[in-house]
Amino acid sequence: MLEKEFRFHPVRKWRADFAHLPSRTLIEIEGGIYVNGRHNRGAGFAADLEKYLEAALAGWRVVRLGSNELTTAHVERLVALVSGERNTRAYVPPGVGLSGEAGTGGGAGLDKTGC
């Protein structure tokens, strides 16, 4: 279950658009990307960087989504991630196999640490 407008910092009034508490994952929906909105103007961008840094330093995973990422496929992958259904140590792009070949489901060139 996702919490809406979750206040993740004990002192600052920062809120995340959504939070999945069991996995300590914050989800931010970035708006105004293509219309010179708050998130891509100097002061707003800098404030977002401070917010995301503080969240990460407090042990939160921060996922930022724009309008292009708000798809069923991406949301399903995020659900799998926060539900622990996927090995989070190695990123495997969709459609890539364990041998690194397209279409077989694994991660080419990744060692056991995900690097």
Same domain, 39 and 95: no
Please check whether residues 19 and 66 belong to one and the same domain.
yes
Other CB atoms within 10 A of residue 82 CB: 19
- Strands (DSSP E) contained in 2-98 are 3-7, 15-20, 25-29, 61-65
Phi, psi of 5 (to 5 degrees): 50, 55
Considering its fold, how many domains does the chain have in total?
2
Tell me the whole-structure pTM to 2 decimals. 0.67
Residues 97 and 47 both lie in one domain:
no
pLDDT tens for the chain, 115 residues long, are 889 999 999 899 999 999 999 999 999 998 766 676 666 678 888 999 999 999 999 999 999 998 888 899 988 898 888 887 655 455 556 665 545 555 444 434 434 444 4
What pLDDT does 64 receive?
Answer: 93
Which residues form the domain of 45? 3-82
- The pLDDT assigned to 90 comes to 53
pLDDT at 27: 94
